[in-house]
Copies of this chain bind each other. A is one copy, B any other.
Amino acid sequence: MGGSVAIFGLGAMGSGMAGSLLRAGLTTHGFDINTDAVARFRAAGGAAGSIEEVASGLACVVIVVVNAAQTEAVLFGSDGIAAKLKPGTAVIACATMAPDVARDLAKRCADLGLHYLDAPVSGGTIKAGEGTLSILASGSPEAFEQARPALDAIAAQVFELGDKVGAGSSMKAVNQMLVGIQIAAMAEAMTFGMTQGVTPEKFLEVIRQCAGTSWALESRAPHVIAGDYTPLSAVDIWLKDLGIVLDIAKGAKFGAPLTAAALQQYLAASGSGLGAEDDAAIAKVYARNVNLTLPGEA
């Protein structure tokens, strides 16, 4: 195999993943429109060189941007990289996007001889930094083979979902639907309990051992209890991700009432100025509607 890696997008997720690539001993080039982020990455061991200078030595590129539009811009925008990569390079596309869009990008990559891997990630910024993400991946055997060293560096678990691009994005949408609903459900249940005298601490202690538990509850309830809304994953991420989910659903004429109800609560959070806070801040929407004081509030 051999070859180096280029990662596009050095934000909260991308910079963690880039660090994991370096720790795995892979020569890694990092690119971002934020030149400070690029400088930090190079200071941490990132390899130098413009994409034009390094393209011929790349085994794969990892694209960790916010959405499909940014992924398309990286690949096919003015100054896009797709035309600069040599045939046989793997393109690991990590953003959450609609399966149809992933299939379109894959086709345009295939026309240039590039191996597209539909590879959304799950796990958040902490796991990104640890190299312990989960990757929901689909693509050709060639794409997997070429991407393998990078995948092994950034993920604890790679779900191989077959050779059809779109399967990874579909599974990611399913997962985001559930996480988005279940964070909102945690907030709804915790604040409902407070109206009946159940403290947030007791809520977490008991419910995590009962049938009402979920990964989302065990992950996010502690944020509310601590009154700490430092964004590990921000409210506004859900406007995007549940928006993508509902767009896909609409395309299939699939009614998703719980997803829609959850999105309304995230919208109320974002609309009232909480968009950049941790998504557990959705609890504030519920709390203010019934005059509850959450932990850490005055």
Contacts and interface: CB of A to CB of B under 8 A. Distances in A.
A245 to B, nearest CB: 8
A209 B123 CA distance: 11
A56 interface: no
A261 B184 CA distance: 13
Interface stretch (A87-95, A105-113, A159-167): A159-167
A132 interface: no
A247 to B, nearest CB: 12
Given A202-B161, A207-B178, A258-B262, A197 B214 contact: no
A230 interface: no
A179 B212 contact: yes
Nearest to A245: B192
Contacts of A196: 99, 166, 170, 173-174, 248, 252
A136 to B, nearest CB: 7
A293 interface: no
Interface stretch (A10-18, A44-52, A215-223): A215-223
Contacts of A123: 211
A216 B207 contact: no
A159 to B, nearest CB: 5
Query: In the complex, which of the residues A122, A206, A252, A253 has the most CB atoms of chain B within 10 Å of its own CB atom?
Result: A206
Contacts of A211: 122-124, 175, 178-179, 215-216, 219
A111 to B, nearest CB: 23
A193 B175 CA distance: 9
Contact of A122 (B177, B192, B210, B248): B210
Interface string A273-298: 00000000000001001100000000
Query: In the complex, which of the residues A170, A185, A248 has the most CB atoms of chain B within 10 Å of its own CB atom?
Result: A185
Contacts of A290: 252-255
A188 interface: yes
A20 interface: no
Given A167-B197, A253-B290, A257-B261, A192 B174 contact: yes
A63 interface: no
Given A178-B214, A211-B122, A258-B258, A170 B185 contact: no
A265 interface: yes
Given A157-B209, A182-B212, A254-B195, A189 B166 contact: no
Given A161-B206, A166-B196, A254-B286, 12 more contacts: A174-B198, A174-B203, A176-B212, A178-B214, A178-B217, A181-B185, A188-B256, A195-B252, A211-B215, A211-B216, A252-B290, A255-B286
Interface of A: 99, 122-124, 134, 136, 157, 159, 161, 164, 166-167, 170-171, 173-179, 181-182, 184-186, 188-193, 195-198, 202-203, 206-207, 209-217, 219, 245, 248-249, 252-262, 264-265, 286, 289-290
